Amino acid sequence: MSFEVRNLTKSYGDKVVVDHLSFAMQQPGVYALLGTNGAGKTTSIRVMLGMLQYDEGEILWDGKPMVPSERNIGYLAEERGLYPKYSLLDQLLYFARLKQVPKLEALERIHYWADRLQLNEYIFPPKKGKGQKSKANRADQLSKGNQQKIQLMAALISDPEILVLDEPLSGLDPVNTDLFKTVIREEMQKDKYIIMSSHQMPTIEEFCTDLTILNRGKVVLQGNLDEIKKSYGRVNLFVKCDEDIAAYVEEAGLTIAEKLPSEYHLKVTGEEQAMAFLRTLTEHRVTIVRFELREPSLHEIFVEKVGESHEEE
């Protein structure tokens, strides 16, 4: 199986929001769509899901035109949207019914995910005393983090073959962030096709092997993340010493990217310049606590490619 987008284009009047976007997933994994606000990420996702019509292009599943309504797709939207006044259990059963999940099977999955995401007390509130009715919890009675968990349950309840996560970790506390990450890893192990959009670059580096960076609807960078990093070379040098090394940095002609109280982030031309600086420090018997040479981070690459463009979508 494969998922492929070819020359996808979407305009609103004269404004081109998505400009000939193409990418492919030839096997299960996590593919990242990155960009500033207004870059076209969410619009691209909505087009792929059949929520918006597109002007040009193709969306293919296993080489054939994909009809989103005929595929088992789970979607966690960036704009969280539950029905605020309905019980959580009724909503989850409704979402399962939309995906043709039989009621008994849906209940089994709801019990599983309620336990997995620590939501039992909200979806299945304990019964009150004799003569008192237990009031089912509604979405508007939950914290934002727990509402997000409910929406993740709704996305997963059909055991989708394609999972689309738009800013899945936005607004979560550290505990729930780790919980969501664990769930995402579990879905990866089930050989799912996962498309993720996020502004959290460390999350993308943690999960995604391939990516596309969009800027104002256009692709500005695309490919395998490891290969992209390697193409830049190891140009970031992090040095921490017990002694002050400012004079040695200046003498070596190194560019200071960032100076922390006890550490330098330096820019070098490559391994040769870094090793020459290391020799200088050792010759002067400087106590080296950290000496790390690495490729640029995804954050640095992203900023280089899209600059400071923050046009609102």
Q: Compute the residue count for the chain.
A: 313
How much of the chain exceeds pLDDT 90, in percent? 74
- Given a cut of 90, whether residue 79 has pLDDT beyond it is no
pTM (predicted TM-score): 0.84
According to the model, what pLDDT value does residue 103 have?
A: 95
Average pLDDT across the chain, whole number: 90
SS3 116: helix
Q: Measuring CA to CA, how many Å separate 61 from each of 26, 32, 55, 58, 74?
A: 10, 18, 19, 10, 15
Both tokens assigned to 19: 């400009």
According to the model, what pLDDT value does residue 300 have?
A: 87
Tell me which residue of 281, 280, 244, 284 sits closest to 264, measured CA to CA.
244
According to the model, what pLDDT value does residue 309 have?
A: 47
Identify the band that residue 135 occupies on the pLDDT scale cut at 50, 70 and 90. Answer: low
Identify the band that residue 310 occupies on the pLDDT scale cut at 50, 70 and 90. Answer: very low
Section 183-202 average pLDDT: 93
Of the CA atoms within 13 Å of residue 287, those in its CB half-sphere come to 3
For residue 117, the one-letter residue type is: L
Both tokens assigned to 77: 């939207």
Both tokens assigned to 99: 């995906």
- Given a cut of 50, whether residue 130 has pLDDT beyond it is yes
Q: Measuring CA to CA, how many Å separate 181 from each of 158, 185, 190, 203, 311?
A: 19, 6, 14, 9, 29
According to the model, what pLDDT value does residue 112 have?
A: 96
Dist. CA 280–CA 181, nearest whole Å: 43
